[in-house]
């Protein structure tokens, strides 16, 4: 049996993880858990105030965070920010592909697919370039977790671009797991409804409360419920898990 530190989820001390959408919700919770596991955490988002807040919380707990305002829908911005991160810190060994457009945003179908799926693919391609350029001991246990959804994979939802994009993220994960497994493991999570800021008006409504009553666990997920599942898939503890889409839904799929 390999000797893996339980408190660190088996991660190498000071390895670098990059979390997109780290200023809020699932991304914020994931950044905090990654720091707790001893990783250096690069937090990217559009929201400077939210980034400052998550970095302050990580530093207060004795962790290390690096923040950058990066629009992950812009390939040039991704490339520039990766370059800056690699120059100031180290190769990125773990990637949490979390940020994506909100289903309530008024995007056209093609534009939204490009934003939601194209951005995750662009992040992964730039991440793999960094992995290839790094010494092999700096890339051991490399891993990517992308945030998909039950929508598109197990259920339908509106607008149509949202489930389409989330199904495509699962397909991309499987294709990369098959073809690039020698470089890195690729997995995805499929949350159902999560009480994050984008869902506040629904989660606090009567309809939202009724939804929670239908869930086998009788409650909404919070960001940390999803973060802990992400951390497992990202970590060396999941060293032989590759290409899965893990529902994190409290058993909601059983009642559909
Ligand atoms: N909340 C849910 O019910 C739910 C369910 C299933 C899947 N998801 C997925 O989880 C992910 C995170 O959702 P959340 O609920 O935590 O959302 P959230 O709105 O709380 O946080 C998303 C963060 O991403 C950032 N962001 C948005 N566009 C960005 C961009 N172009 N570049 C950089 N950062 C950007 C936002 O500023 C925000 O801080 C999304 O991919 C979403 O589709 C959410």
CATH of the domain at 206: 3.40.50.720
Q: What is the pLDDT of residues 89-109, one digit of tens each?
A: 989 999 999 999 999 999 999
Please identify every stretch of the chain with a pLDDT value under 70, giving residue numbers as ranges.
1-2, 256
Predicted confidence at residue 30, as pLDDT, reads: 98
Contact, 95 vs 120, CB < 8 A? no
The pick from 99, 145, 200, 250 for probing ligand 1's pocket by mutation, whose C-beta has the most ligand atoms within 8 angstroms, reads 99
Cis preceding linkage at 159, omega within 30: yes
- Which residue of the set 44, 82, 162, 220 is catalytic? 162
Percentage of the chain lying above the pLDDT 70 cut: 99
Respond yes or no: is residue 162 known to be catalytic.
yes
For residue 203, what is the enclosing H or E element?
Answer: helix 200-203
What lines the ligand 1 site, CB under 6 Å?
A: 20-21, 23-27, 44-47, 50, 70-73, 98-100, 147, 149, 191, 193-194, 196-199, 223
Evaluate whether residue 95 is within a structural domain.
Answer: yes
Predicted confidence at residue 109, as pLDDT, reads: 97
Q: How far is the CA of 197 from the centre of ligand 1 (A)?
A: 9
What is the edge-to-edge ordering of all strands in the sheet holding 245-248?
A: 64-69, 40-45, 16-20, 92-97, 143-147, 185-191, 245-248
Evaluate whether residue 63 is within a structural domain.
Answer: yes
- Encoded tokens for 100: 């994506």
Predicted confidence at residue 11, as pLDDT, reads: 96
Evaluate whether residue 5 is within a structural domain.
Answer: no
Contact, 54 vs 28, CB < 8 A? yes
For the chain, helix (H) and strand (E) counts, in that order, are 9, 7
Evaluate whether residue 3 is within a structural domain.
Answer: no
Evaluate whether residue 9 is within a structural domain.
Answer: no
Evaluate whether residue 255 is within a structural domain.
Answer: no
Closest to 247 (Cα-Cα) out of 194, 198, 196: 194
Q: How far is the CA of 78 from the centre of ligand 1 (A)?
A: 17
Evaluate whether residue 189 is within a structural domain.
Answer: yes
Q: Which domain, by its residues, includes 171?
A: 16-248
| Strand 143-147 relative to strand 92-97, pairing | parallel
The total domain count for the chain is 1
Q: Rounded to an integer, what distance in angstroms lies between the CA atom of residue 246 and that of residue 100? A: 18
Predicted confidence at residue 235, as pLDDT, reads: 98
Predicted confidence at residue 256, as pLDDT, reads: 65
Q: What would the DSSP string read from start to end of 57-112?
A: HHHHTT-EEEEEE--TT-HHHHHHHHHHHHHHS--EEEEEE-----TTS---HHHH
Percentage of the chain lying above the pLDDT 90 cut: 91
Predicted confidence at residue 3, as pLDDT, reads: 75
Count of Cβ atoms closer than 10 Å to residue 130 Cβ: 22
- pTM for this one? 0.97
Predicted confidence at residue 1, as pLDDT, reads: 54
| Residue where the block lists tokens 């940390």 | 224
Evaluate whether residue 7 is within a structural domain.
Answer: no
């Amino acid at each position: 049996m390999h000797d893996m530190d339980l408190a660190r989820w088996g991660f190498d001390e000071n390895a670098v993880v990059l979390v997109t959408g780290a200023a809020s919700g699932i991304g914020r919770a994931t950044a905090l858990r990654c720091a707790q596991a001893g990783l250096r955490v690069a937090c990217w988002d559009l929201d400077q105030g939210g980034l400052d807040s998550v970095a302050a919380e990580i530093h207060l707990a004795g962790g290390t965070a690096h923040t950058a305002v990066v629009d992950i829908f812009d390939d040039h911005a991704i490339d520039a920010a990766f370059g800056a991160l690699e120059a100031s810190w180290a190769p990125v060994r773990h990637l949490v592909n979390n940020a994506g457009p909100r289903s309530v945003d008024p995007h056209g179908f093609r534009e939204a697919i490009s934003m939601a799926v194209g951005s995750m693919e662009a992040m992964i391609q730039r991440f793999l370039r960094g992995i290839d350029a790094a010494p092999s001991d700096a890339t051991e246990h490399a891993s990517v977790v992308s945030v998909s959804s039950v929508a598109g994979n197990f259920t339908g939802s509106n607008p149509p671009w949202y489930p389409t994009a989330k199904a495509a993220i699962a397909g991309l994960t499987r294709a990369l797991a098959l073809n690039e497994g020698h470089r890195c493991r690729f997995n995805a999570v499929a949350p159902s409804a999560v009480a994050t800021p984008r869902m506040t008006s629904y989660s606090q409504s009567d309809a939202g409360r009724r939804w929670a009553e239908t869930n086998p666990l009788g409650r909404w997920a919070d960001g940390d419920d999803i973060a802990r599942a992400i951390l497992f898939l990202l970590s060396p503890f999941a060293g032989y898990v590759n290409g899965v889409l893990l529902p994190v839904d409290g058993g909601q799929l059983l009642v559909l």
